[in-house]
Amino acid sequence: MDTGIHAKHWTRQQAIDYGIEASEVERYVVMPGQACSYMVGQLKILELRDRAKQALGAKFKLPEFHNLMITTGTVPLELLERQVDAWIKIVAARP
């Protein structure tokens, strides 16, 4: 729908007819690409979580992973990946 509005010049009504709620259409209109970037970030975080789970096994603790995400803050995904890799090494080295 984001592409429809911004590249194909859909009207607001066309976007609503596509199946998106009016409030969501408003968000897409004022923040082009936001939904796409949100999804890319979500997929990357899920990938990193799976990587950490696989690497750490029983040492993986979801609250610790969440804390890492929150304390790292808003950073490019490449830096987030580096932080997670460093965290995995630290946790793996724990007795």
Task: Please check whether residues 25 and 53 belong to one and the same domain.
Answer: no
pLDDT tens-digit map of 40-58: 999 999 999 999 999 999 9
**Vertex 82 angle, CA 36 and 39, to 5°:** 10
Contact 38, 71 (CB under 8 A): no
Q: Tokens standing for 14?
A: 């066309």
pLDDT for the residue 21: 92
Task: Please check whether residues 88 and 52 belong to one and the same domain.
Answer: yes
Task: Please check whether residues 27 and 48 belong to one and the same domain.
Answer: no
Task: Please check whether residues 2 and 23 belong to one and the same domain.
Answer: yes
Percent of the chain whose pLDDT exceeds 70 = 100
Domain that holds residue 65: 40-95
Indicate the length of the chain as a whole number.
Answer: 95
Task: Please check whether residues 46 and 22 belong to one and the same domain.
Answer: no
Mean pLDDT in residue range 17-37: 90
pTM of the model: 0.79
pLDDT for the residue 36: 87
